[in-house]
Amino acid sequence: MTTDTQVPRPAGGRPEWARRLTGIEGLRGLAALAVLVYHVQRNLNRSSADVWPLGEVSFLSHGLTLFFTLSGFLLFRPFVAALLDGREHFGTARYLLNRVIRIFPAYIVVLLFSSIVLQVAYLPRPVDGQSAEFGRLDAGDTLLNAVLLQGYFPRTVRSGLEVAWTLGVEVAFYVLMPLLAFGAAWLARRFVHPLVGSILPAAFFAALGIAGKVWMLSSEVGMDGSEKLSFEWGANWTTVVARSILVHGDLFAYGMIAAIIFIYAESGRISLKRLNRWRWAAALVGVGALVLATTDMTGPFSSSLVAIASAAVLLLAATPRSAGHPGWAGRLFSSRGLGWFGLVSFSIYLWHLPVIRFMQVHGLALPDTLPGFVGNLAIVFVVTIALSALTYYFVEAQALKLKKRKTPTPKPSSAADGETSGLGSADTGPR
């Protein structure tokens, strides 16, 4: 039985607010649109950055950071629930199959269409410093990209779809996180409290990403701008590391920590009064982290600070302000329009750069002026949204039907059931 000091939870089930995950789709939609706007300015209208406040558009690249943090939050939740309940089986095989179904069908369709039809795939660079070229991938490079292994080789690290290196980071997280959860569960059964066990995987990813960023920061001491660009984005082994989980792991960790707090609230272990105090603390930490991230002194840690702010927003959006009532963040990000963009966000993320490259290659981009930026943004937006809707409804949604429907169970969600990720839209519940 719940009391008025507890977070409401139906007997034997999850509270309605926990099943609904208010605002998550809206956040995903905002992240995808932010990355689109950033890439339009960077690739088609760089001079617009000289116009206030469009100089701040570069900060929208952190839409990717939000994606990573969302993945940590959404995918770790069921593992945390299993850890705290003392369950030994996580449904990992089904979880991994669902990840494959969620990511690869749409990705492969967009990759093949961009390479074979549009011929705007980013071509491998055999030599570091070689200018970017776009065209059609050969069979070997297509296969390497199709299985998301291109990021492990200097020649191909940026090839194919230019955003695909981030999918490689996601896949590394998908594989490592269950392994760490198994280890944490083993420790929790024998040596440590389940809460400590649930924190250990997040601590691992945090340490991994922070160590990677320290390596980047120390390695770039004394480098000029072009040297740093080559170090982080060239055709070399340092780029392979810089575009990997070794540097970006902590961005998932902050979402995982938010997932632990969320599951504690969902299970009724945290009272509403305490949860509201944590919500206020999260808001303050998030604002502080976001302010610091906008300064020039944070270097590679700016993404860490944005991830902390993103985790705070996740908690504010997903947890209730009072019994059955979402807070302001939940209401803000749960609008129907934003929710639809969240639904097709993965396709938006995949399509927008091929659209931009097609405009560049065929001379279709408007001039590098302020009106040109507005016009290019409108063109890329409309074309990308149209392609994304087609890909979602005819590829993603059809692939999701391959998932077996979960049978009702009194237990909280298993790791295999109802999971989503930052780079894929939610695939449970009514539409």
d(CA 395, CA 306): 32
Of 34, 27, 28, give the one whose Cα is nearest residue 381: 34
Q: What are 326's strand-pairing partners?
A: 320
User: Is 425 part of a structural domain of the chain?
Assistant: no
Asked if residue 324 belongs to a domain, the reply is yes
Task: Output the six-digit token pair for 326.
Answer: 């979402």
What residues are paired with 154 via a beta bridge?
A: none
Q: Where are the beta strands (DSSP E) in 125-278?
A: 134-135
* Residue range 259-295, pLDDT digits in tens: 999 888 887 777 777 888 888 898 899 999 999 998 8
pLDDT at 320: 66
Amino acid at the residue 136: R
pLDDT value for 1: 38
Return averaged pLDDT per consecutive 10 residues of the chain, 431 residues in all: 46 53 87 97 94 90 96 94 79 89 97 98 88 93 98 96 97 96 88 89 98 96 93 95 98 96 82 81 92 87 96 85 64 82 96 98 96 97 98 95 57 49 51 26
- Residue at 66 is within a domain: yes
Closest of 149, 166, 169 to residue 350, by C-alpha: 166
E strand or H helix at 326: strand 325-326
> Quick one: pLDDT at residue 323?
53
Q: What is the pLDDT of residue 144?
A: 98
Residue 298: per-residue pLDDT: 85
Question: How many separate domains does the chain show?
Answer: 1
Nearest to 70 by CA among 319, 385, 399, 426: 426
Residues in the chain: 431
Domain range holding 93?
A: 16-400
Q: Does the residue 43 lie in any domain? A: yes
Residue 426 is assigned to a structural domain of this protein: no
Sequence-distant (6+) residues with CB within 8 A of 294 are 59, 302
Q: What is the pLDDT of residue 176?
A: 97
Residue 364 within a domain? yes
Residue 406 lies in a domain: no
- Alpha carbon 407 to chain centroid, angstroms: 28
Is residue 413 a part of any domain in this protein?
A: no
Quote the pLDDT of residue 325: 64
pLDDT in tens, 196-243: 989 999 999 999 999 999 999 999 999 999 999 999 999 999 999 999
